[in-house]
Amino acid sequence: MPSSSPRIRTLHNVAELRAQVRAWRAAGERVALVPTMGALHAGHVELMNVARTLAQRIVVSIFVNPTQFAPTEDLGRYPRTLAADLEKADAAGVDIAFVPDVAEMYPPGFVTTISLAGPALGLETDFRPTHFAGVATVVAKLLLQTGPDVALFGEKDYQQLQVVTRMTRDLDLPVDIVGVPTVREADGLALSSRNVYLSAEDRATAPVLHRALQAAAAEIRAGGDIAAAVATARAQVIASGFALDYLEARHAHSLAPIAAPEEGPIRLLVAARIGATRLIDNIGVD
């Protein structure tokens, strides 16, 4: 009978992580990194499943990164479910869970951050101005600490994916960034660790975000005006009880504003609050 004991190793410091990756490299094995903040769900597991098709070895990092939270945000109550996370990662065939503490990632005297522009400007940063500096810095550290061949990110955090992709290109980091399509509930709600915050009533309303994006995308594909389609979607979201941060049509790669389909591929992105929970989503138009 197969053993019920976990095969996954949990490492807490960079030196141990690098030593193990060096051993894999010496054996000619490819390495994939899946960066997470824990509270793993089926969307994270899908990242691990895709990673298994791209590399022989998988590292999942679990670190609730304080530098990407503003003082008014939910760092203190962000869900932390390490035991369950390790079980999920083990079942998905992950080799190492890298679980550093804050002092390991940001030792005393740490003062360096990455300065961003391009896809990091606007959308999320209009409401969370320091967010992507924290994301980019911790992701750069994880990439340098692990030295993977490939790193996987979910498309649900689409702006983050574009920021990380641009950063790795601009800094010549030797890693391929792979975006994995959003995993959704049957009613269309994008899986998120923050969905656990939704009340029953808010959970019933939450799929409106995806439906509004779908309707706008269909209108644009049918030749409708982009601005009009976006305005209709915004009205639908607000009428459903959301407090809307943004719902925008952007160029799918640069995230610059886009007014017509011939200007490039289109991505629709939304962020809105319902109750105490902030949700984000996005879909491609073409």
- Tell me the longest C-alpha to C-alpha distance in the chain: 61
CA atoms within 13 A of residue 168's CA, in its CB half-sphere: 25
The CATH number fitting domain 9-180, selected from 3.40.190.170, 3.40.50.620, 3.40.50.300, 3.50.50.60: 3.40.50.620
Average pLDDT over residues 127-148: 97
CA atoms within 13 A of residue 249's CA, in its CB half-sphere: 28
- Is pLDDT of 103 > 70? yes
Decide: helix, strand or coil at residue 190: strand
Average pLDDT over residues 13-20: 98
Answer yes or no: CATH 3.90.226.10 is held by domain 193-284: no
pTM of the model: 0.95
Quote the CA–CA distance of 56 and 54 in Å, as a whole number: 7
Confidence (pLDDT) at 3: 45
Q: Does 269 count as an annotated binding residue?
A: no
Share of the chain above pLDDT 90, in %: 94
Q: pLDDT class for 5, splitting at 50, 70, 90?
A: low
Q: For helices 226-239 and 208-221, give the axis angle rounded to 10 degrees.
A: 160
Confidence (pLDDT) at 286: 79
Tokens in use for 93? 């065939």
Instruction: Say if CB 185 and CB 35 are below 8 A apart.
Output: no
Q: Does 156 count as an annotated binding residue?
A: yes
Q: Does 251 count as an annotated binding residue?
A: no
Confidence (pLDDT) at 4: 55
114-136 confidence digits (pLDDT tens)? 999 999 999 999 999 999 999 99
Q: Does 4 count as an annotated binding residue?
A: no
Q: Does 82 count as an annotated binding residue?
A: no
- Is pLDDT of 155 > 60? yes
Domain boundaries, given as residue ranges, for the chain: 9-180, 193-284
Q: Does 40 count as an annotated binding residue?
A: yes
Catalytic positions are 44
Instruction: Say if CB 225 and CB 258 are below 8 A apart.
Output: no
Burial class (CB in 10 A: 0-12, 13-18, 19+), 188: middle
Output the CA–CA distances (angstroms, integers) from residue 164 to 49, 152, 172, 196, 257, in the order listed: 21, 10, 12, 26, 19
Q: Mind giving me the DSSP string for 203-263? A: HHHTTHHHHHHHHHHHHHHTT--HHHHHHHHHHHHHHTT-EEEEEEEEETTT--B--SGGG
